[in-house]
Amino acid sequence: MASARSDIAPADARAASPSFIAHKILIAGGFGSGKTTLVGAISEVRPLRTEETLTTASIGLDDLTGVDGKTTTTVALDFGRITLGTKIVLYLFGMPGQERFSFMWDELAYGALGAVILADVRRLDDCFPSVNYFETLRLPFVVAVNCFDDSPMYEPEEVRLALDLDADVPLVLCDARDVASVKQVLITLVETIADRQPATAGRVR
């Protein structure tokens, strides 16, 4: 019966010491705020499908005409992967910010280091659910205002006021299409996460 065994691969690790360590960062924001663009600026964007049980939250939003008995709906997520050094892989997960997707936020946020909330100044209220969620979760986050070409110019302080952000939440301006800009947003986030660490061992600089 050798053929039955042929597709069982030799493992590259027996008691399996990790060949890389995966870390998660969330990219949240409202519909059209530029989440996919941001992920795509710094890594390859890969699609991920989930089948979610329909809840009353989607009634009236998802068109179910002609699909009587359909009880699940497909939610498409994007994610990107950045390899840092030899052992660290940073995963960026796009998190749909609309309230009706809140049933999947906990799963996405599980184990995350922190989050970037992408804000579009034309629709700042789209950020409220994400801001509330991360505040409640006590997950470190930064707000990155995506500067669209035709968006009205606001001072960062005005945006901070409108979002009612705590003083220790960084607010940065960014261009989600630009790799240097996205890099700076992520660096700001990781610095913020480090600042929230208990001051036991060594400082991050």
Give the footprint of other proteins on this chain (CB under 8 A). Answer: 1, 4-5, 7-14, 16-24, 42, 46-51, 72, 74, 79, 81-82, 84-85, 88, 90-91, 93, 107-108, 110-111, 113, 179, 183, 186-187, 190-191, 193-194, 197, 201-205
Q: Which is nearer to other proteins, 145 or 186 (CB)?
A: 186
- Would you tell me how many other CB atoms lie within 10 Å of the CB of residue 13? 8
- Would you tell me how many other CB atoms lie within 10 Å of the CB of residue 66? 6
Tokens read off for 122: 């034309």
Whole-number Å distance between alpha carbons of 49 and 23: 20
Q: Which is nearer to other proteins, 50 or 151 (CB)?
A: 50
CB of 43 closer than 8 Å to CB of 82: yes
Query: What's the closest the beta carbon of residue 186 comes to other proteins, in angstroms?
Result: 5
Query: What's the closest the beta carbon of residue 152 comes to other proteins, in angstroms?
Result: 31
Q: Which is nearer to other proteins, 79 or 134 (CB)?
A: 79
Give the pairing of strands 88-96 and 72-84.
antiparallel
- Would you tell me how many other CB atoms lie within 10 Å of the CB of residue 124? 18
Q: Which is nearer to other proteins, 85 or 152 (CB)?
A: 85
